[in-house]
């Protein structure tokens, strides 16, 4: 019964996200505990921006992780990877 409840709970989420794994995972990201600085420019052109996710209380010299999504800079969007940030 417990397994059925999990499936029943997640089924609408799969339907709403068209079974996109990234969208599904992003639905579980909390809305607090970090701030996002959107669209920091690192070069010329409309797609050369990044989002910086900063945890609350992070030390100024805290390590930084850089995540490059696939697509060869031809397809995809950084907006599809909220769950990584």
Same structural domain for residues 63 and 80?
yes
Cα–Cα distance for residue pair 59/42, rounded to 1 Å: 23
Radius of gyration for the alpha carbons in the chain, expressed in angstroms and rounded = 16
Q: How many domains does the chain have?
A: 2
25 and 35 co-located in one domain: no
According to the model, what pLDDT value does residue 71 have?
72
Average pLDDT, the chain: 80
Q: Are residues 6 and 39 in the same domain?
A: no
Q: Kindly tell me if the per-residue pLDDT of 48 is higher than 80.
A: yes
Q: What mean pLDDT comes out for the span 4-16? A: 58
According to DSSP, residue 65 is labeled: -
**Does residue 63 sit in the same domain as residue 76?**
yes
Residue 1, pLDDT > 60, answer: no
9 and 44 part of one domain: no
Does residue 13 register a pLDDT over 70?
A: no
């Amino acid at each position: 019964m417990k397994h059925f409840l999990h499936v029943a709970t997640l089924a609408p989420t799969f339907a709403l996200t068209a079974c996109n794994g990234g969208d599904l995972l992003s639905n579980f990201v909390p809305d607090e505990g970090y701030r996002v600085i959107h669209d920091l420019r690192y070069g010329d052109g409309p797609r050369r921006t990044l989002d910086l996710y900063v945890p609350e209380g992070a030390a100024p010299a805290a390590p930084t992780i850089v995540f490059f999504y696939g697509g060869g800079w031809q397809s995809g969007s950084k907006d599809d990877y909220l769950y990584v940030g």
